[in-house]
Amino acid sequence: MELSRRTFSALAGTTALGLALSGSGTGGNSAYATHTAPTGPAPGPPAADGQQHTVGFDRYSLVVDGRRLVLWSGEMHPFRLPSPSLWRDVLQKMRAHGYNTVSVHVAWNYHSPAPGEYDFTGVRDLDLFLRTATETGLYVILRPGPYIGAETDGGGFPGWLTATAGRARTADPTYLKHVDAWLTEVNAIAARHLFTRGKGSVLLYQIENEYDADATKGTGRAYMSHLYRKVRADGIDVPLFHNDGGRNGHWMPGSFDTGGEKGRWLYGFDGYPAPDGTPPDWGHFGTGGAKGGSTASPKTPGFLPEFGGGRFDPWGGAAFRGKGYAEARRTRDAAYERRFHFTNLANGITLHNVYMTFGGTSWGWLPAPVVYTSYDYGAAFDEARNPTPKLAPMHQLGHLLQRVPDFAKLDRAPRVRAGDERLKVYHLTNPDTHAHVYVVRNDTDEAISSPLPDAGIDVPVRVPARDARLLATGLSMGGDRRLKFATVEPTMFLKAGRQDIVVFSGRYGEMAQIVVECPEEPTPARLDAEVAWVFDRGLLRITAPLGVGGLSRILVDGGGSDRQLLILLADDATALRMWPYDTPSGTVLVYGPSLVREVSLQDSTVHLTGDTKAATGIEVWGPRGITQVTWNQKVVPTRISASSSLMNLQLLPGVAPVTLPSLDGGWRRKNGNPESAPGFDDSGWTVAGKKTSYSTTPVPKGQPVLFADDYGFHYGDVWYRGRFQQDLAGVESLSLAYSTGTQGMLMAWLDGRPLGTHRMPVPDESAARQGNWAAEATFDVPAQVRGGQGAGGSHVLSVLVRRMQHDQDGEALDTHKAARGLTGVTFKDASPKVRWRLQGAAAPDPVRGPLNNGGLHGEREGWHLPEYGDGDWAAVKLPREDDRRQGVTWYRKSFRLAVDTGIDASVGLVLEDDPSRAYRVQIFLNGWNLGQYINDVGPQHTFVLPNGILRTRGANTLALAVLSDGTTPSGPGKVRLALLGSAAGGVPVKPL
């Protein structure tokens, strides 16, 4: 049960409900004279309202339409969630949990299969994503590169760019020609969604990403200037910025030519501190200077375009000792988020972007070599779109920064010491309201309780081990009432009818102490048994154990205001079920459900949509005059409580059980490497006849170019067939040189006989970021070929290369152009002239895009597609038979799901087997390439099947392309479906 039944037992009252609290200051009208912008209410949620808007900034914060705005942003990538319906789901969850902004990379390779070709339809519909963000009420930070990094193939560069002239990420004119074509396309869409024009919510725009290699060189300055001018020429008029890859002081205002435009460029930097370290001071409390973080640009606000909300994990799982992203989330938990984000706030950071907030899936051939399929990242929302416990501080801090304007304008204040000097204390103050903010951090391994006498906090404040507190004094509590201090975090301040509502939160079981200065004696009313209070000498002291019985309430009349003060006390889990939502008629606060997605007011009715997991109550505060509540379009019987809320009389139902079918039977199988047979017809394949290449990999002397990219095969597996005349009687071995990304592999056959398999090593932590791997595989020539029929005649050498992906060009060295595929062949004691043909992926899938398919025979023939007829394939059972063979084997199975309408069920595919078995699986669901599983490498075993691709009510086709080296039994082993999360509610999902 999500909301305690106790809270519905005896509360009664008749007070109406009201509007959002404005905070401690007043508004302003200045657009760009930002030094005059006073502390006051933040601007409301963005909308496509058709009105002109202004966006400026000063050293404190952004200033939007003359009002200060603190950005609390989360990163998500629509290309990592290939189901446009689910974009709305994630964006609604972000907004509900306190984020007011979403940051978005746009991957060039995802939209451009060939030079001059651009596709923004279907899952690539950027216009739809930006519309959805605006409809959700989120600002957008748009980051279209041209280079994005982001652990994507080639750092987001299209595969075809590897085969072009010109050094990337410089002012080379050939490269810039391609860049301009890309920016023209993406900026035409962005311009339709600019917040400044009232068309949408694009608020900031990034050019390039972590571009440090040429920061001190003319070519780098010319490159950045070109990008700046191009973006402005395309009509993008919002502030621009770059994300400095660390604290280098690169690309500060004035560091390159912006065509005479001043005051429209922000300095930003990123940081990914390790959880076992001390949170760094990247701002006012740091060492300062160009390498001090935000101090590098003292006239612009502190801006973190990327702050680590987790970390990526490489093949083999070296980053987290093979435990995967669950370990990333454990080590970067809620306490980590509090310690590091509170420290950033104390250092003057008011533009926060958490990378990642929803990581998603690097499906198909999207991931850079350094990561496997899952991009869960240990983020606040997991790959299956479930909120995780680490959301608690993000939720609380996000809502606080939106609803208490004092935090948008803070100066460093005199040093304050705790009674126990093991606690580090940061002290800041608002120059307009004179409110004080304290970040109290515990970097030790034991909990510490201590008063802060210098701050006037005369009772012990408990800070758990390796955790932090955000405390405040002097905040307005409505009228002349002010917060003297609290030992727990302020979370939400708002207005409802004749009430001021203030929410405080902390850890479960803590004894919260709230002290309110009241110039007149108040009349408190304890609405829950856990709360105690006493008034003495102008101070109202309130105590309550957090979380015991759910939400605790105390109602205060008088005390210096003609408005009631409702104080709500919550532990972290309870605070995660409190949902403020701004409407044109005022603010609504909802308590109880696991998620509130949308709120609207019509006459006297509050219409709510959202999710429940367990049975729960619901409590609603809102504008005066509301008398009725609906939940997901059904009327909820309510009554008025003593706290002037509408409280339901019956619990909302939870989610019904979800049953998934077994995948044990009904499999069909077919061998998938006919290319290895000598008689295979390769006459339609591409002839490898090129002599030169733009690749950074040298072409072996005397041999043709074999690099797959030079022949237009940019993604997935590549087959080679080489014909030659040679007497092999004395030839004992041959060597095949090849180049791939991490965990690439090569298989070879000579005259149809397996030569063997070679694979790149599993990277340890020191090699986890290495994206280019080259090796030479030497194979013995089989005796049957050396001495058998045809030994002195013509031969066919067949080679399959799993090329993996292109390296990210992080240092601007064109490393994305390193060869992929076979690079050369040599024979011991022989020099035959080999005539090569090669074949990779066919034309890009018009629906699924260029990154979906590779060059396996089954992919070229459509074996992965649901409409393919497999009736003549052999019937098999899993776990598979004890079959050892080198090559490719395909398995297909159909299954049906019947998830009840109104249930959002997230389903995953789980593959399990003895880790000593050497095989890998490419997973296709309904034709979509959803990832790669490597049984003896890992660490990933569960693959999310996004709704929309997965038919939760209907038929589905699963196809598994298995590559085995023949040394162990071929896969797959156990294959099953797993329920990764479910809720009653969700969003309507359109099948793809």
Read off the pLDDT of residues 259-299 as tens digits, 9 standing for 90 and up: 999 999 999 999 999 999 999 999 999 999 999 999 999 99
Q: In this model, does residue 701 exceed pLDDT 60?
A: yes
Helix (H) or strand (E) holding 215: none
Average pLDDT over residues 966-991: 94
For the record, the structure tokens of 361 come out as 């899936």
Chain mean pLDDT for the chain: 94
- What amino acid occupies position 804? M
What separation, in Å, do the N-terminal and C-terminal C-alpha atoms of the chain show? 35
From residue 736, alpha-carbon distances to 8, 162, 700 in Å are: 74, 22, 12
Read off the pLDDT of residues 548-605 as tens digits, 9 standing for 90 and up: 989 999 999 999 999 999 999 999 999 999 999 999 999 999 999 999 999 999 999 9
Average pLDDT over residues 832-849: 96
For residue 13, what pLDDT is reported? 30
The rounded distance, in Å, linking the Cα atoms of 74 and 86 is 16
Helix (H) or strand (E) holding 67: strand 67-69
The rounded distance, in Å, linking the Cα atoms of 918 and 598 is 49
- State the CB neighbour count (10 A cutoff) for residue 446: 9
| DSSP label at residue 387 | B
- Residues whose CB is less than 8 angstroms from the CB of residue 716 and which lie 6 or more positions away in sequence, other chains included: 365, 803, 840, 841, 853, 854, 855, 856, 859
Read off the pLDDT of residues 417-466 as tens digits, 9 standing for 90 and up: 999 999 999 999 999 999 999 999 999 999 999 999 999 999 999 999 99
Average pLDDT over residues 141-166: 98
The rounded distance, in Å, linking the Cα atoms of 737 and 752 is 20
For residue 101, what pLDDT is reported? 98
From residue 851, alpha-carbon distances to 278, 629, 940 in Å are: 40, 46, 20
Cis peptide bond N-terminal to 879, omega within 30? yes
For residue 28, what pLDDT is reported? 33
- Residues whose CB is less than 8 angstroms from the CB of residue 478 and which lie 6 or more positions away in sequence, other chains included: 21, 495, 500, 561, 563, 565
pLDDT band at 876 (very low <50, low <70, confident <90, very high): very high
- Looking from the CA of 712 toward its CB, the CA atoms found within 13 Å total 11
Read off the pLDDT of residues 485-515 as tens digits, 9 standing for 90 and up: 999 999 999 998 889 999 999 999 999 999 9
Read off the pLDDT of residues 717-757 as tens digits, 9 standing for 90 and up: 999 999 999 999 989 999 999 999 999 999 999 999 999 99
- Residues whose CB is less than 8 angstroms from the CB of residue 434 and which lie 6 or more positions away in sequence, other chains included: 474
pLDDT band at 36 (very low <50, low <70, confident <90, very high): confident
Average pLDDT over residues 604-618: 98
- Residues whose CB is less than 8 angstroms from the CB of residue 444 and which lie 6 or more positions away in sequence, other chains included: 422, 465, 466
The rounded distance, in Å, linking the Cα atoms of 418 and 79 is 47
Helix (H, G, I), strand (E, B) or coil at 34: helix
Average pLDDT over residues 13-40: 42
Read off the pLDDT of residues 92-119 as tens digits, 9 standing for 90 and up: 999 999 999 999 999 999 999 999 999 9
φ/ψ of residue 886, rounded to 5: -85, 130
pLDDT band at 4 (very low <50, low <70, confident <90, very high): very low
Average pLDDT over residues 371-376: 98
For the record, the structure tokens of 775 come out as 């090796």
From residue 502, alpha-carbon distances to 23, 367, 474, 486 in Å are: 11, 45, 14, 12
Average pLDDT over residues 238-243: 98
For residue 881, what pLDDT is reported? 66
For residue 788, what pLDDT is reported? 63
For residue 989, what pLDDT is reported? 98
The rounded distance, in Å, linking the Cα atoms of 533 and 542 is 4
- What amino acid occupies position 773? W
Q: In this model, does residue 11 exceed pLDDT 50?
A: no
- State the CB neighbour count (10 A cutoff) for residue 372: 25
Average pLDDT over residues 919-937: 97
| DSSP label at residue 370 | T
Higher pLDDT, 653 or 496: 653
Diameter over CA atoms, the chain: 107
Strand ranges for 185-293 from DSSP E? 202-206, 240-244, 265-271
Q: In this model, does residue 30 exceed pLDDT 70?
A: no
Q: In this model, does residue 348 exceed pLDDT 80?
A: yes
Q: In this model, does residue 37 exceed pLDDT 50?
A: yes
In the sheet that holds 467-473, the strands lie side by side as: 411-412, 423-429, 436-442, 467-473
The rounded distance, in Å, linking the Cα atoms of 328 and 310 is 6
Higher pLDDT, 883 or 211: 211
Average pLDDT over residues 846-866: 97
For the record, the structure tokens of 946 come out as 């996004």
Average pLDDT over residues 673-696: 98
Share of residues in the chain with pLDDT > 90 (%): 93
Q: In this model, does residue 26 exceed pLDDT 50?
A: no
Q: In this model, does residue 1 exceed pLDDT 60?
A: no
Q: In this model, does residue 7 exceed pLDDT 50?
A: no
pLDDT band at 969 (very low <50, low <70, confident <90, very high): confident
For residue 790, what pLDDT is reported? 60
The rounded distance, in Å, linking the Cα atoms of 624 and 243 is 45
Read off the pLDDT of residues 814-824 as tens digits, 9 standing for 90 and up: 999 999 999 99
**Cβ proximity of 301 and 350 under 8 Å:** yes
Read off the pLDDT of residues 769-807 as tens digits, 9 standing for 90 and up: 999 999 999 999 999 888 765 677 899 999 999 999 999
For residue 789, what pLDDT is reported? 57
- State the CB neighbour count (10 A cutoff) for residue 979: 15
**Cβ proximity of 54 and 318 under 8 Å:** no
What's the pTM value of the predicted model, to 2 decimals? Answer: 0.96
What burial letters (b/e) apply to 545-569, b meaning 16+ CB within 10 Å? bbbeebbbbbbbebbbbebbbbbbb
For residue 371, what pLDDT is reported? 98
